[in-house]
């Protein structure tokens, strides 16, 4: 499915997804190697034009992930990020060179604030831009260049550096609003003036990369397209550091729904949006806010009496797009404790999940257990089961074997726990300020650690007192951040599982230095 409502030829807008690079820079959003490969495959299947797979120089883990994504990707261009130096660029090329369509993306900060970091004069920076872009182009025919913090760069200097990059061989010029500083009319004007005034601008593609610090990332990206940009850099769910990036689902659906005034087309199969949104949320540990545009739980929910009455008479009264357009099924309750494996497989396929036989067997066992505890099993319950199953616990150092809590109006609350540590069971009783605190204290009593809990978040998967709870936690230890997410009808059990998952990830990173991203000092390209 393409995002064009007419049969006439329309300008193509390329979708550059940076979920695996800029999105992963959100504190706590670091993904495992396997999770990165899975997300890249989903991005490729949904029609993303360019996948920015990572920052190869950051660590051996990042390099291996980008390299493997490059080898596996079937349709999309695979891009790696590199700072403006030969070492970064060479490492980036080494990672992406096996892709069917490789791209090197190199950048340098050009605003006064960012020029001060490498302590370069304007002329020294011009020389570095020329030399590094030339070097990248000698390695790869597809080179993207970004003047980081472009929207706060002096106009005359921005024109000059863009011209230098084009003459050096850049094929895509990305104009990042690195700190979410600009507003829509400025965004459009900036791109338009660059295209009109920079020599050679008509021979390259201009791209826009907007951050959401003032809540205008989507508006700024669409304005840039109106100004002449033909590539949008974005992430699934708007994931990204600080307030996030332009949300892929928002710009794609805006161009689809308002194709009358935004006459552009993309290759995105919009029916795959909900599935990848849920998966990115699960692997990043960042729940999607209920009122998030397009993919939020309430995006197609109607409670107001006037709205419900209008919906019953005609769906387009209060809905400008159909739930089916983004891959959201209108059915909710179809499964129960008497449902068999074939029915479960069919239902999961309807929800966008293709599972192998061994995965189906595991999900089926837990589905039956859930059906015995819940009166009704909803689509979201099944999605939570799949996401919980997707986390590979086979190599976990810590595994929850038993948990019983005592809580009530009289403090302190207590938790009895059996926790397996590297295959050996340990049993303790711990107290705390509430059952969740008691459970976390029990874990710490068995496995002492210095990790600090930065985030604890609970939301109900479905309605009712028997609803599953999905718990997300974020933990920090010596600069390393890890998240955990788990679901259960018992909120305390879900909390303990999520806490233990985050700890397991911290342990894994501690033991496999370099397998995941190391903390290094660098600035992103947007």
Residue ending a domain, choose from 390, 417, 433: 390
The three-point CA angle 149-153-154 to 5° equals 175
Angle, helices 379-390/341-350, rounded to nearest 10 degrees: 90
- Residue 349 and residue 265 share a domain: no
Give long-range contacts, CB 8 A cutoff, 24+ apart: 467-473. 467/374, 468/370, 468/374, 468/381, 468/384, 468/494, 469/494, 470/287, 470/384, 470/494, 471/495, 471/497, 471/498, 472/285, 472/286, 472/287, 472/498, 473/285, 473/498, 473/499, 473/502
In a domain, residue 314? The reply is: no
209 assigned binding-site residue: yes
Residue ending a domain, choose from 390, 419, 442: 390
- Residue 377 and residue 415 share a domain: no
Distance CA 354, CA 366 (A): 17
Residue in 432, 412, 405, 416 with CA at minimum distance from that of residue 492 = 405
Instruction: Indicate the burial class of 454 (C-beta count within 10 angstroms; 0-12, 13-18, 19 or more).
Output: middle
Domain range spanning residue 426?
398-511
Q: What is the structure's pLDDT at 434? A: 94
Contacts of 473 (CB under 8 A, 6+ apart): 285, 453, 455, 456, 457, 483, 484, 485, 495, 498, 499, 502
Q: What is the structure's pLDDT at 453? A: 94
In a domain, residue 517? The reply is: no
Contacts of 273 (CB under 8 A, 6+ apart): 46, 248, 249, 252, 253, 294, 295, 326, 327
In a domain, residue 302? The reply is: no
In a domain, residue 468? The reply is: yes
> First CA to last CA across the chain, in angstroms?
29
Q: How many CB atoms lie within 10 A of CB 10?
A: 18
Distance CA 3, CA 442 (A): 52
- Residue 425 and residue 366 share a domain: no
- Residue 168 and residue 22 share a domain: yes
237 assigned binding-site residue: no
Instruction: With beta carbons less than 8 A apart as the criterion, state whether 275 and 244 touch.
Output: no
- Residue 161 and residue 71 share a domain: yes
| Ordered per-residue pLDDT tens for the chain, 526 residues | 444 333 346 899 999 999 999 998 876 677 888 899 999 999 999 999 999 999 999 989 899 999 999 999 999 999 999 999 999 999 999 999 999 999 999 999 999 999 988 888 999 999 999 999 999 999 999 999 999 999 999 999 999 999 999 999 999 999 999 999 999 999 999 999 999 999 999 999 999 999 999 999 999 999 999 999 999 999 999 999 899 999 999 999 999 999 999 999 999 999 999 999 989 988 887 888 889 999 988 887 634 344 334 434 445 554 688 888 998 775 444 577 778 888 888 888 877 788 888 888 888 888 888 888 776 777 778 877 887 766 555 468 999 999 999 998 887 899 999 999 999 999 999 999 999 999 999 999 999 999 999 989 898 877 777 788 889 898 898 888 888 888 888 999 999 999 999 999 888 877 765 444 443 333 344 4
Task: Write down the H helix ranges in 106-215.
Answer: 112-115, 122-139, 155-168, 184-197
In a domain, residue 299? The reply is: no
In a domain, residue 300? The reply is: no
- Residue 273 and residue 156 share a domain: yes
Angle, helices 491-511/435-446, rounded to nearest 10 degrees: 30
Residue found under tokens 């304007």 = 122
- Phi first, then psi: give them for residue 169, nearest 5 degrees: 120, 5
- Residue 469 and residue 335 share a domain: no
Q: What is the structure's pLDDT at 512? A: 61
- Residue 225 and residue 357 share a domain: no
- Residue 406 and residue 365 share a domain: no
Q: What is the structure's pLDDT at 308? A: 35
Q: What is the structure's pLDDT at 303? A: 40
Q: What is the structure's pLDDT at 304? A: 38
- In the chain, the number of structural domains is 3
- Residue 376 and residue 244 share a domain: no
**Radius of gyration for the alpha carbons in the chain, expressed in angstroms and rounded:** 24
- Give the single-character DSSP code of 287: P
Contacts of 489 (CB under 8 A, 6+ apart): 370, 373, 374, 466, 467, 468, 469
Contacts of 26 (CB under 8 A, 6+ apart): 239, 240, 241, 244, 284, 286
Q: What is the structure's pLDDT at 26? A: 79
Q: What is the structure's pLDDT at 455? A: 87
- Phi first, then psi: give them for residue 378, nearest 5 degrees: -95, 170
Instruction: With beta carbons less than 8 A apart as the criterion, state whether 180 and 213 touch.
Output: yes
User: Looking at residue 408, which CATH number applies to its domain?
Assistant: 3.30.160.270
- Residue 265 and residue 131 share a domain: yes
Q: Which residues are 473's β-sheet partners?
A: 456, 484
Can you give the three-state secondary structure of 247-258, one letter per residue? EHHHHHHHHHHC
Task: Name the token pair of 402.
Answer: 């038993």
In a domain, residue 525? The reply is: no
Residue in 208, 193, 127 with CA at minimum distance from that of residue 165 = 127
Residue found under tokens 């309430």 = 298
- Give the single-character DSSP code of 313: H
Residue ending a domain, choose from 252, 284, 316: 284
Instruction: With beta carbons less than 8 A apart as the criterion, state whether 203 and 230 touch.
Output: no
Instruction: With beta carbons less than 8 A apart as the criterion, state whether 375 and 466 touch.
Output: yes
Q: What is the structure's pLDDT at 350? A: 76
Distance CA 282, CA 352 (A): 15
- Residue 118 and residue 15 share a domain: yes
In a domain, residue 39? The reply is: yes
220 assigned binding-site residue: no
β-bridge pairing 205-210 and 231-234: parallel
211 assigned binding-site residue: yes
Contacts of 423 (CB under 8 A, 6+ apart): none
421: left (phi over 0), alpha (psi -120 to 50) or beta: beta
User: Looking at residue 84, which CATH number applies to its domain?
Assistant: 3.20.20.70
């Amino acid at each position: 499915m393409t995002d064009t409502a007419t049969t006439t030829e329309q300008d193509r807008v390329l979708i550059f997804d940076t979920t695996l690079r800029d999105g992963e820079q959100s504190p706590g959003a670091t993904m495992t190697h396997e999770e990165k490969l899975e997300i890249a495959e989903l991005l490729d299947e949904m029609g993303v034009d360019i996948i920015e797979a990572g920052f190869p120089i950051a660590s051996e883990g990042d390099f291996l992930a980008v390299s493997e994504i490059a080898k596996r990707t079937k349709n999309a261009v695979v891009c790696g990020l590199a700072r403006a130096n030969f070492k970064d660029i060479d490492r980036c090329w080494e990672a992406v060179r096996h892709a069917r369509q490789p791209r090197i993306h190199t950048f340098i900060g050009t605003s006064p604030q960012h020029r001060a970091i490498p302590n370069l004069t304007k002329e020294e920076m011009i020389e570095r831009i020329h030399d590094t872009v030339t070097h990248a182009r000698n390695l790869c025919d597809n080179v993207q260049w970004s003047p980081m913090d472009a929207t706060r760069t002096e106009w005359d200097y921005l024109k000059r550096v863009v011209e230098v990059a084009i003459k050096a061989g850049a094929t895509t010029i990305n104009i990042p609003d690195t700190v979410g500083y600009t507003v829509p009319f400025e965004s459009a004007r900036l791109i338009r003036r660059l295209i009109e005034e920079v020599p050679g601008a008509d021979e390259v593609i201009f791209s826009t990369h907007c951050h959401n610090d003032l809540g205008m990332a989507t508006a700024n990206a669409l304005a840039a397209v109106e100004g002449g940009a033909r590539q949008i850099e974005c992430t699934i769910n708007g994931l990204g550091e600080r307030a996030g990036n332009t949300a892929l689902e928002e710009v794609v659906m805006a161009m689809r729904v308002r194709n009358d005034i935004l006459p552009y087309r993309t290759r995105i199969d919009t029916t795959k949006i909900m599935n990848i949104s849920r998966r990115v949320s699960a692997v990043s540990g960042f729940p999607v806010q209920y009122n998030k545009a397009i993919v939020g739980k309430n995006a197609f929910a109607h409670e107001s009496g006037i709205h419900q009455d209008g919906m019953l008479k005609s769906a387009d009264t209060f809905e400008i797009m159909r739930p089916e357009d983004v891959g959201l099924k209108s059915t909710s309750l179809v499964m129960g404790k008497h449902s068999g494996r074939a029915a479960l497989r069919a239902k999961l396929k309807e929800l966008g999940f293709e599972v192998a036989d061994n995965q189906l067997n595991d999900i089926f066992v837990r589905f039956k257990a859930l059906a015995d505890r819940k009166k009704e099993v909803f689509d979201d319950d099944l999605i939570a089961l799949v996401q919980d199953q997707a986390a590979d616990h086979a190599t976990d150092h810590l595994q929850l074997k038993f948990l019983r809590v005592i809580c009530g109006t009289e403090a302190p609350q207590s938790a009895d726990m059996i926790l397996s540590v590297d295959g050996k069971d340990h049993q303790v009783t711990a107290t705390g300020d509430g059952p969740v605190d008691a459970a976390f204290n029990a874990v710490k009593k068995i496995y002492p650690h210095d990790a600090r809990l930065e985030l604890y978040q609970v939301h109900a998967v479905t309605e009712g007192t028997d609803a599953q709870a999905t718990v997300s936690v974020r933990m920090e230890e010596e600069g390393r951040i890890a998240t955990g997410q788990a679901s259960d009808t018992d909120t305390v059990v879900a909390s303990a599982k999520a806490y233990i998952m985050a700890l397991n990830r911290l342990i894994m990173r501690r033991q496999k230095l370099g397998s995941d991203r190391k903390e290094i000092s660098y600035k992103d390209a947007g």
